[in-house]
Amino acid sequence: MGRVFSQSERLTDAMRSVFVELLVHGPMSRAEVARRLALSPSALTKVTKPFIETGYLREQLTGEGPSTVGRPSQPLQVDASRMSFVGIKLTADELYAVRTDLAATIQEETQRTLIDHDIDNVLGQIAQTVADLTEEDRPLSAVGISLAGTATPSDPVVHTSPFLGWSQLPLARLVEEAVAVPTVLDNDVRALTAVQQWFGEGVGHSSFALITVGAGIGCGMVIGDRLVTGRSGATGLVGHLAIDDRGPMCEQGHRGCARAYASSPAIRRSVATALDRPELTFDDCLAMARDETRDGHPVARRVLDEAGTALGQIVATVANITGPELVILSGEAVHMYEVCADAFQTALARHTHWTSTPVPVVVKPFAFNEWARGAAVTALQHLLLHR
Amino acid sequence: MGRVFSQSERLTDAMRSVFVELLVHGPMSRAEVARRLALSPSALTKVTKPFIETGYLREQLTGEGPSTVGRPSQPLQVDASRMSFVGIKLTADELYAVRTDLAATIQEETQRTLIDHDIDNVLGQIAQTVADLTEEDRPLSAVGISLAGTATPSDPVVHTSPFLGWSQLPLARLVEEAVAVPTVLDNDVRALTAVQQWFGEGVGHSSFALITVGAGIGCGMVIGDRLVTGRSGATGLVGHLAIDDRGPMCEQGHRGCARAYASSPAIRRSVATALDRPELTFDDCLAMARDETRDGHPVARRVLDEAGTALGQIVATVANITGPELVILSGEAVHMYEVCADAFQTALARHTHWTSTPVPVVVKPFAFNEWARGAAVTALQHLLLHR
DNA sequence: GTAAGTTCGTTCACTGTGTCAAGTAAATGA
DNA sequence: TCATTTACTTGACACAGTGAACGAACTTAC
């Protein structure tokens, strides 16, 4: 009992892939799994047995499915409650955390304001958060931490974090020592991409790109069923893509830079400045652009059209270069999409290479705890794939 | 004898990976291969034996290497002459072909002008070319065909070829029937990328991008040791990347388009038009820009600076998005690099995301038969990996 | 209501790939 | 000379996954 995922017992390739297949592609009969993974039926009996004995897999009550010929199948389902993960997203001044089960469903969440950026204090706050989220009788399987920057699970060191003021900090190891649970560190956008890959819109696609809009613009990619991790963790750096050379300017002094057009602070600033109304919020701007009575306020309308155009060009550029099956649009500010959909689609079509059809785009609503959930999924993936 | 690569005997994973390791990473001792592939030493004795017996691997005379402690190693080398491949590159009016050995060394080459685009005639010319290149006593192992477009080895159909006027043509199957040798079809840029991956600058890198300049601008990518094949074969479409919105125009009506700045016909046209000298060739333009006596002809100088700037921006964009370890610059017109290196490097640095360092760039001189060689390597890779 | 057909899942003997442990080979260095 | 180091080989063995035969549980045809 309980020895299947213990560190002593090593999973075979077949066991791992069968379990992941069932976790990601929902309840499925042994026969179905065997077909999808090109395994023999007998292998499935053998491989699933220990999982069922230890409770990680359960045989579903035979569903009242559409009756077919032959013996009805016996769907297998992962018991998501058998494991818990904590995911933590670090920002400059906050710490967002969630506890999820094996299916990445959020069970509990917290938030904490960082006292300061002193490492020991942050470690203390992380340890406290993990302790608070851990249930009495159910030990954590792994902890995931995500932040902006170039960390990767294989090089779990914060090399330089401008906003936290750290450099060369082996954060994963320090947290692991503090909480005594295996800990994985990864870039925040890549963590979000992992969520989409296993539990979101990316399921069933061997390649897709995730574009996030919010305080900045991010991009994560899955190519050939694998999450892309570039040279020293640097991938998807679309935030400063040159849209034109006359537009608004970003903090780095780039004229017509993507984030100067399409990030939520830039949008807010453009409208507020043009109207000399510094109190306007981002959502105010969206409301003004949406305003039906006069076809939208002209300033907000223009700014959002330009934002949509920039986003469309970003998506087209990423799609032209990497050729994903799908692009997922998400992030704290995705709800701006409905206000600039026309401009977006026009720009997407315009910048898509003429020999291709525009890539399918899915808009994925964003909840504020998705970042932390991403960290949890990173931990989960790491545990299931690399242990 | 000779049964190792016969279609009846299937290679095990270990055999395949050992053979490819030795082919790609040069002569190596068994012990070294074992370490690199995480296999046991005994596995290497066992796996190597049939290859040596059949002559695909040879034990090298113990090299006079720097003497070390312990028993000297016995380097193993692939006998490249044991297999032959024919690679064919199709363009609108020519057919370029080479025969290579297992190490992708060109043994013989031909060129043929296409009579017309009638499929039977083209098939006839291909069959004749293959027959001409085949040696009496050494049968071909595979034939590779490459052309511009969206074909891939897994979907070996020419869906639409604007310049050849074909659509939905199962070219690989037809050629295979005509020449009675396994045939692989792939996109031309991806084929070139395959050459770099196994026999060029990409060796030893798990990710890199290849940017080609010539009649157009192409881009092939290896990510996580795998050649990227996008949605229906469409990847690396950087030719129409928007550089600015005021520059020269391409055939698709894009202002400031990458190929309107940096393709060799566009460069030639810009200089020729500005000077009203239609007879100027591309190489004339390079010579004028290089002209030491007056720091280069001002028109040619300016056009090439702008071309270099565009190229730098393309490379930076690709690198920002996919994060390759290396970028290889090649194509029929790469020799223009030396004339615009400064502008290129400036633009590369300028457009590289500020959190990264510019990606290392290698310039790879190009011979006209590299395209056909690429086709041969595609066939070779397919034979070794997917059989 | 029975038989035939179909698909799902299990059992058990077996194949075959790669490992482990032990031993041999060939050099250096003291 | 002998210890030490590294390379390679050999043969017994472990064990993951397969194949074939079989039992289970349903639908459909007559």
Residue B5 lies in a domain: no
Whether the per-residue pLDDT at B114 is higher than 50: the answer is yes
In eight-state DSSP terms, residue B289 is H
Q: 3-state DSSP call for residue B5?
A: coil
Asked whether residue A127 falls in the same domain as residue A214, the answer is: no
Cα–Cα dist A281/A279, whole Å: 6
- CA A43, C1' D14: Å apart? 18
- State the helix-helix crossing angle for B13-24 and B370-385, rounded to 10 degrees: 150
Residue A343 lies in a domain: yes
Q: What is the mean pLDDT of residues A277-284?
A: 96
Q: What is the mean pLDDT of residues A186-194?
A: 97
A231/B317 CB distance under 8 A: no
Q: Would you call A12 exposed, middle or buried from its count of C-beta atoms within 10 A (0-12, 13-18, 19+)? A: exposed
- CA A6, C1' D8: Å apart? 37
Asked whether residue A100 falls in the same domain as residue A147, the answer is: yes
pLDDT grade, residue A8 (50/70/90)? low
Domain CATH code at residue A126: 3.30.420.40
What is the DSSP pairing of strand B84-90 with strand B142-147? parallel
The predicted pLDDT at position B2 comes to: 41
How many structural domains compose chain A?
Answer: 3
Residue B1 lies in a domain: no
What is the DSSP pairing of strand A166-169 with strand B327-330? unpaired
- Please tell me the least confidently modeled range out of A65-79, A84-98, B25-39, B313-327: A65-79
Cα–Cα dist A207/B130, whole Å: 37
Asked whether residue A120 falls in the same domain as residue A232, the answer is: no
pLDDT grade, residue A291 (50/70/90)? confident
The predicted pLDDT at position B12 comes to: 94
* In chain B, % of residues over pLDDT 70: 97
Nucleotide nearest to B69 (CA to C1'): C28
Residue A57 lies in a domain: yes
Domain boundary among B81, B96, B126: B81
Cβ atoms < 10 Å from Cβ of A37: 16
For residue B267 the two structure tokens come to 């460069």
Identity of the residue numbered A282: F
Residue A4 lies in a domain: no
A237/B351 CB distance under 8 A: no
Residue with tokens 């009846």: B8
Identity of the residue numbered B16: R
Asked whether residue B277 falls in the same domain as residue B345, the answer is: yes
Asked whether residue B34 falls in the same domain as residue B125, the answer is: no
What is the DSSP pairing of strand A166-169 with strand A106-113? unpaired
Domain boundary among B45, B62, B81: B81
Q: Would you call A8 exposed, middle or buried from its count of C-beta atoms within 10 A (0-12, 13-18, 19+)? A: exposed
Whether the per-residue pLDDT at B202 is higher than 50: the answer is yes
User: CA nearest A356 in B: which residue?
Assistant: B234
Q: What share of chain A is helix, strand, coil (3-state, %, to 5)?
A: 40, 20, 40
The predicted pLDDT at position A12 comes to: 94
Asked whether residue A147 falls in the same domain as residue A221, the answer is: no
The predicted pLDDT at position B63 comes to: 61
Asked whether residue B120 falls in the same domain as residue B180, the answer is: yes
A320/B237 CB distance under 8 A: yes
Domain that holds residue A340: 201-363
pLDDT grade, residue B8 (50/70/90)? low
Whether the per-residue pLDDT at B293 is higher than 80: the answer is no
Residue B3 lies in a domain: no
Q: Are A89 and A214 in contact (CB under 8 A)?
A: no
Asked whether residue A206 falls in the same domain as residue A176, the answer is: no
Whether the per-residue pLDDT at B372 is higher than 60: the answer is yes
Cα–Cα dist B160/A356, whole Å: 11
Footprint on protein of nucleic strand C, Cβ below 7 A: A 29-32, 41-42, 44-46, 48, 68-75; B 12-15, 38-43, 46-47, 62, 67-72
User: Could you give the dihedral angle defined by the CA atoms of residues B124, B126, B131 and B134, in that order, rounded to the nearest 10 degrees?
Assistant: -170
Domain boundary among A81, A113, A128: A81
CA atoms within 13 A on the CB side of B254: 21
Asked whether residue A188 falls in the same domain as residue A278, the answer is: no
Cα–Cα dist B46/A141, whole Å: 40
Asked whether residue B177 falls in the same domain as residue B236, the answer is: no
The predicted pLDDT at position B198 comes to: 98
Asked whether residue B75 falls in the same domain as residue B96, the answer is: no
For residue B359 the two structure tokens come to 């990606």
Asked whether residue B217 falls in the same domain as residue B171, the answer is: no
The predicted pLDDT at position B150 comes to: 85
Residue A29 lies in a domain: yes
Mean pLDDT across chain A, nearest whole number?
94
For residue B316 the two structure tokens come to 């930076």
Domain CATH code at residue B40: 1.10.10.10
**Which DSSP string do the residues of B218-230 spell out, in sequence order?**
EEEEEETTEE---
Nucleotide nearest to A68 (CA to C1'): D27
Residue B341 lies in a domain: yes
More confidently predicted of B377 and A1: B377
B241/A320 CB distance under 8 A: yes
Identity of the residue numbered A316: A
The predicted pLDDT at position B292 comes to: 72
pLDDT tens for A354-375 read 999 999 999 999 998 999 999 9
Cβ atoms < 10 Å from Cβ of A381: 23
